[in-house]
Structure 1
């Protein structure tokens, strides 16, 4: 099958959607399909052989963050050329409700389109207001996927229709087989995310850290991600700042090794999360997880069975939970075991097969399915209707 995938966000800025698109493309290629990915990218960004640059992205406020998107007349021309030259059996666009390459692709495409919606933002006035503009493009979508129930609700509430829920995928074995790094072991707490993006929650973790270090003075916090390191520790007592080690941007291999090394992974995110891929990666690596009780995080952690939850933005509760876990090796081992078992449902062997089934449905039709089953299938996939 010839598959075209459109990533709306700049390829050179790490993010969950970019990783999802990359991993999906590579999984499909391993399965023998021909895949091309169109994404914004700076001129000097190294791209894998299956990726095509649509030009430089510009920062746009979106969903409580700043997204680097590509949109405009020049971008539209590049999209049309890529679609024409690719002669794809199916196009898979991500976040078509954003002003991005995905929306331009919907306008340009003529064949089957699958769309994945990642955003979870039930109070999005902008999305609701933009619906009349988006409607002609969205009506061309053949099937819709949401990465979580919360992303599906956003879609239903603001854009209508429905979607089948297929979570983000992870190569579980890649994380499970990583070698721990000695210097990252020994009563360590891990955090991975953009340091200067408040919704990733590092300020909440920093407010909790003094209480953790008071009870566990030998503990360390390892922080991986880009941002202002001095500002991040500015409110910590000077004597404690040495217990925070900033690793900067790290490779995928080092991310896996970090998650394999830490005693506890903390996800203190405060909102705007529709899934929580880092939680899946941490569980894959066998890291016990402590996360804020966002709806999406609770769903990924099986309601708290595969990882512990604390009240969102409550630094005291975070500290109390971290102290309790760090003092209880038995509970940490239990979380490792439960997380490692639970995470198998997110492996690409399962997720990729589900996505491919959607592709095959929109390209082949549902002729082999009984009429009553066909209607139910179309409804679950959120098919556009004439």
Structure 2
């Protein structure tokens, strides 16, 4: 099968959506499918051979974060050329209602189209504004996927229609097999606690964690907090908040995928203090796969991943005191911590890419079968293209 995947966000500073698309593409390629990904990327950004760069992106504030996207007539021409050359059996768009490559591809393309929705928002003025622009094109989407129940609810409430829920994937064994690193491994007297995320992005919740550190250290004086992620401003602000307690917090900077797996395999607790805007919680699944016990804010998406706290611990979102209390409780009871981590290890298998890829392929096959069944209804050029099973560019 020839699959074209469109990524709305730049690979210059990759995040959850980009990693999801990268891993899905590689999982499909491993199974023998031909995959091409179109994504923004600067000329000097290293990208795999299966990714075609759509050019430089510009930063745009979106969903409490900064998304790097590209849009406009010149970008549309690149999308049109990529579609024409690809002759894809299925076109898979991610976040097609965001002004991006995906929206352009939705406007331009015909044929079997699948769309994945990642965003989870209670209210979105941006989605309300953009809905009239994309509403006619949404009818071209043959199947919709949401990465979580929260993302599905956002789609239903803001766009109408429904979607099948297929979660983000993780290579579970990659994290399960990662080796622990001595410098990150805790002891009963000096347990280690990890945080991963963009340090200058408030919704990732680093201030919630740093404000909890003094109370954690009051009960567990030897505890060490390991903070990984980009953002000099966020690091400086965190150091200022920590004051005299800064010596117990080590800022690791940006870590590679391999280092991330090793870090999560080494620590006693992984903390996910996000305050909102999370539709799934992929890093929770990565930590669970690595054997770390997770302590997460009680966002709906996180509670579902942690089976309402059975496979980890939850605390009140944004509440540093409750976070500190929960961390101390977990550190003081290693048997209970191990029990919940064990349940997590069993739970994460449902998120392994072997399972997730099979679910995505089932959607592709259903769309292609429906396209073939309807192929004889019309005799215009686009209908003939659909019967051939590939995505044709509109004139």
> TM-score of the superposition, structure 2-length normalised?
0.91
Q: Paired residue for 1:45?
A: 45
Partners of 1:354 and 1:283 in 2: CA distance:
22
Q: Which moved more, 1:358-367 or 1:260-269?
A: 358-367
Q: Paired residue for 1:374?
A: none
Q: Paired residue for 2:260?
A: 255
What pairs with 1:269-288 in structure 2 (closer than 5 Å)? 269-288=274-293
- Is the CA contact (8 Å cut-off) linking 2:112 and 2:367 kept in structure 1? yes
Is residue 88 of structure 1 aligned with residue 88 of structure 2? yes
Partners of 2:10 and 2:347 in 1: CA distance:
31
Q: Paired residue for 2:308?
A: 303
Q: Paired residue for 2:75?
A: 75
Per-residue CA shift, 1:229-281, capped at 9, x if unaligned? Answer: 2222211132x211111111110000000000000000000000000000010
- Is the CA contact (8 Å cut-off) linking 2:112 and 2:371 kept in structure 1? no
Partners of 1:339 and 1:367 in 2: CA distance:
42
| SS across alignment from 1:190 | strand
Q: 1:225 aligns with which of 226, 229, 233?
A: 229
How far off is 1:83 after superposition? 0.4
How far off is 1:366 after superposition? 8.2
How far off is 1:92 after superposition? 0.5
Q: Paired residue for 2:202?
A: 198
Q: Paired residue for 1:342?
A: 347
Partners of 2:64 and 2:149 in 1: CA distance:
19
Q: Paired residue for 1:123?
A: 123
> TM-score of the superposition, structure 1-length normalised?
0.94
Partners of 1:341 and 1:38 in 2: CA distance:
35
Q: Paired residue for 1:151?
A: 151
| SS across alignment from 1:47 | coil
Partners of 1:213 and 1:176 in 2: CA distance:
29
How far off is 1:364 after superposition? 2.0
| SS across alignment from 2:36 | strand
Per-residue CA shift, 1:7-44, capped at 9, x if unaligned? Answer: 11111212110110000000000000000011000110
Partners of 2:241 and 2:62 in 1: CA distance:
28
How far off is 1:125 after superposition? 2.1
Question: How many pairs were matched up?
Answer: 367
Structure 1, unpaired ranges of 5+: 369-386
